[in-house]
Chains A and B, each alone.
Chain A
Amino acid sequence: MSLYRDQGVALRHYKLGEADRIVVFMTAGHGKVRAVAKGIRKTKSRFGSRLEPPTNVSLLFYEGRGELDIVSQAESIDHFRPIRDDLGRMTDAMSMLEAVDQTAQERQPDARLYQMLVAALRTLADRERRSPLLVAAFYWKLLSMEGFGPILEQCASCSAPASGVALVAFDLTQGGALCRDCRQGLPVSPEALQLLGRILGGGLAGALQEPDSAVTSEVAALATHSMEQHLERRLRAVHVLDHG
């Protein structure tokens, strides 16, 4: 067995045996890694809260013989305290972690995805402001990285340019925004398409400053719907407190 170092964000964990846990990490150098943290559920565990989602940690792994590695040492890089102190932020963080867990491939290095996740968590941990668009923006960027960036400047079906026809619907399976003749999926307003264009077209910082409004809600709902279409499953974390 060999040792290797990496940095990773804890995405989720499962109980294992008496006092152990399997922790799933999104690492910078090894993609998604599943590893056993021995004795972590004991109150005197040396890991403490370091492997609790969504902590970003510097890790030393033992490479296991099977699918699972073993966490040998862990040192916090950032524990994102404000996220843990606020239920809304915590739900947002979980929504992002769930999407990463579903899209990242085990042992396939994806440093960009790791960096994007850390940056999004840092933004979420900013106590001064909280953007209603953060999770949505993260989903859109993630979809683009996966090669499913939506077409917004023309009808995704008949290629009629947005300058000539009104784009009134959105369906990710069709490739993006659709004109009146080709419409299917969800109806979409021009303001929402414009905001979506800003998120994906280099205006992210400005878009995240937008106050909560009908347009931000529309873009957020569209992001969740599109991500669920892409994953072909319902995102649990987004909806879990809906009926609370």
Chain B
Amino acid sequence: MYAAPVQDLIDELGRLPGIGPKSAQRIAFYLLKAPSEDALRLSHAISLVKERISWCRRCFNVSETATGDVAGQSECEICRDDRRDKTTVCVVEEPRDIVAVEKTREYRGRYHVLQGAINPIEGVGPDQLRVRELLARIDAEAIVEVIVCTNPNIEGDATAMYLASLLRALPVKVTRIASGLPVGGDLEYADELTLGRALEGRRELA
């Protein structure tokens, strides 16, 4: 239907998550009409990310390969930062969750990205996650506290309970982030499970 290069572009865009054939066609024609430098900037950004970004060898966050580093052997900015507390590890599901925690400015330790969560119905088990690597870090890095910061949904809770059962045997404190009401929300709209957990985790006022 279209010239081969245009069709190839539509096909490639159509392979991206959430992009259907119509959207792929729309984006392809936007790129065709856009000035060359705009389209090339996008293509350059994609190649640069594939060349320079790999998983941090320590925490599996995204990491930029510094000059002279062997690909796949580099550490992310957070792991390289000497000012951070090396004895505390915050376990998250995805690198995106690190950004969310970092925005709070409340946490100064290191991270560990599992790259997913246990999902029994989808058949995702501990073997597909970076669990073994987390266990290896506990002793090697003399970690004192592991904060399990997985999502408060069924998969995140299953992952947290599984990690707790494994870490129980090790000399490390295991904590789970609190679960409760969002600031600015109305109590009457809170669901029973969230409100129940919020009551359970109540704190004494000064």
Contacts and interface: CB of A to CB of B under 8 A. Distances in A.
Nearest to A57: B191
A241 B125 contact: yes
Interface in A45-98: 46-50, 52-53, 55, 76, 79, 81, 84, 86-87, 90-91, 94-95, 97-98
Contacts of B125: 239-244
Contact of B162 (A47, A79, A241): A241
A19 B19 CA distance: 16
A48 B191 contact: yes
Contact of B124 (A17, A49, A240): A240
A129 interface: no
A43 interface: yes
A47 B185 CA distance: 12
A79 B189 CA distance: 16
B127 interface: yes
B162 A98 contact: no
A135 B191 CA distance: 28
Contact of A48 (B127, B162, B194): B194
A110 interface: no
B171 interface: no
Interface stretch (B23-31, B49-57, B85-93, B153-161): B153-161
Nearest to A83: B154
Interface stretch (B37-45, B65-73, B115-123, B137-145): B115-123
A90 B182 contact: no
A244 B162 contact: yes
Contact of B192 (A47, A76, A90, A241): A76
B184 interface: yes
Contacts of B127: 243-244
A44 B120 contact: no
Contacts of B190: 48
Contacts of B35: none
A183 B157 CA distance: 44
B150 to A, nearest CB: 13
Given A52-B153, A87-B162, A236 B194 contact: no
B162 A46 contact: no
A153 interface: no
A44 B185 contact: yes
A237 interface: yes
A49 B193 CA distance: 7
B95 interface: no
B122 to A, nearest CB: 7
Nearest to B17: A15
Contacts of A30: none
Interface string A138-179: 000000000000000000000000000000000000000000
Nearest to A80: B193
B155 to A, nearest CB: 10
B105 to A, nearest CB: 18
A233 to B, nearest CB: 11
B184 A90 contact: no
Interface of B: 18, 118-127, 152-154, 157-158, 161-162, 165, 182, 184-185, 189-194, 196
Given A79-B192, A91-B120, 9 more contacts: A48-B190, A79-B191, A87-B158, A87-B161, A90-B120, A101-B121, A237-B123, A240-B123, A241-B120
Interface of A: 12, 17, 43-44, 46-50, 52-53, 55, 76, 79, 81, 84, 86-87, 90-91, 94-95, 97-98, 101, 236-237, 239-244
24 contacts: A43-B182, A44-B184, A48-B193, A49-B153, A49-B191, A49-B193, A49-B194, A79-B193, A87-B162, A90-B161, A91-B120, A91-B158, A97-B121, A101-B121, A236-B120, A236-B121, A236-B122, A237-B121, A240-B124, A240-B125, A241-B120, A241-B125, A243-B125, A243-B127
